[in-house]
Structure 1
């Protein structure tokens, strides 16, 4: 193609057709400029496509992380509701009959011994997103949602877990350990007289433990819908971008 244009130029110069040569030269320049602009536009499209792809991949990873956290909270909420149900049954029975119910006695003692409650709100995914260019590209409303879920919601859950660990450790040290109830090697019939001698203290520990679980489950009930809403908005943003 270059040889073709070059031959035309030589022909016009040889024939002393200066006017036509100037027009041709201008046209050639215009064609070159148009070609450069088209190449730049194509390059821009490719770069934008790559950026969108990277952006969507980051959003997908964030959604996966949120779904994982949600699944964890859903399981914890179900477990918490079971604890509350068993605790309420034991407390109500004691209040009505002034004695310890044997139905869930061993289970409740095991609950009181659980002092390793833990949740790590830190997320490498969140750290990556918040430190990337994606954070600036996302709408402010979504940024605020992400920040609220990872900092506020997850942070409050971590605090609730820490408080629950504190309650359980207190029960372990002040009630279970002194009465040698930590091994869970006794039958319910063997446990009943030990706990019955200290029924008020046992019920107090259960009530304190129950209050912590209520706090935890309330956090799960507000965080799970917040995660769902954030995932929905991230999916919508992906579709529109």
Structure 2
């Protein structure tokens, strides 16, 4: 091909057709430029297709994580609801001697168990999102809204974790009080855990009812209830809404690319 063009140029020069040669040379340059532009265009298409494919893979992985996170959040919400209900039941008999006298130890152990043993901790899956952020791939997400939500996700999670940390402090304080001034063994006995763990039961005369007249224990349970109620009414619903919205946005984006 190159020999063919050189032959044409040589013939034009030999025949002193300079003007024709000039037009030919300009045309040849234009063809070369057009060829380069076409090659660049095709390279850009291939590069964009590669970016789009990476974006799709990232979004699918993130949507899978967020779907799992939604399930995990719901699990913690249900457990938190049980703890709050137990705390309310404990408070309902405080300083009511008539109720305390008729209260069965097994019932008290039952409503003490969850607030003493169940830590509320949303287990967040974020491997795909972390990889996306670390690799700088966030800039390749075409949807501005999705990109903005993902960029601020860690901040949303930090707020949730902060409130959970406050609730954990209440759990630790309740645990400390029972450990120092009460009996876990009574709770274990009454709930059948002693038998399950193959340990002997303590005397049936021991009781944890004295906590129901303890101002310190009441204050701790009130703090526990207030912290948990904030998480239950505000933080968890807000984060759940964010999760559902992000899943919806990603699903719409993936559907539009089909």
TM-score band w.r.t. shorter chain: 0.7 to 0.9
Counterpart of 2:181 in 1: which secondary structure?
A: coil
Q: Is the 8 A contact 1:12 1:18 kept in 2?
A: yes
Once the two structures are superposed, what CA deviation does each residue of 1:68-118 show, in whole Å capped at 9, x if it has no partner? 322211110111122233444454467696233556533333223337554
Aligned to 1:186: 189
1:217 aligns with 2:232: yes
Query: How has the CA–CA distance of structure 1 residues 192 and 57 changed in structure 2, closer, same or farther, with 3 Å as cutoff?
Result: farther
Counterpart of 2:214 in 1: which secondary structure?
A: helix
Q: Over the residues paired in the alignment, what is the CA RMSD in angstroms?
A: 3.7
1:53-92 equivalent positions in 2, closer than 5 A: 53-92=53-92
Unmatched segments (≥5 aa) in structure 2: 193-202
Q: How many residues align?
A: 240
Alpha-carbon distance in structure 1 between the residues aligned to 2:204 and 2:228: 24
Aligned to 2:197: none
Query: How has the CA–CA distance of structure 1 residues 21 and 55 changed in structure 2, closer, same or farther, with 3 Å as cutoff?
Result: same
Aligned to 1:196: 209
Query: How has the CA–CA distance of structure 1 residues 114 and 188 changed in structure 2, closer, same or farther, with 3 Å as cutoff?
Result: closer
Q: Is the 8 A contact 1:149 1:223 kept in 2?
A: no
Query: How has the CA–CA distance of structure 1 residues 3 and 156 changed in structure 2, closer, same or farther, with 3 Å as cutoff?
Result: same
Alpha-carbon distance in structure 2 between the residues aligned to 1:104 and 1:23: 101
Aligned to 1:98: 99
Q: Is the 8 A contact 2:69 2:125 kept in 1?
A: no
1:146 aligns with 2:150: yes
* TM, length-normalised to structure 2: 0.71
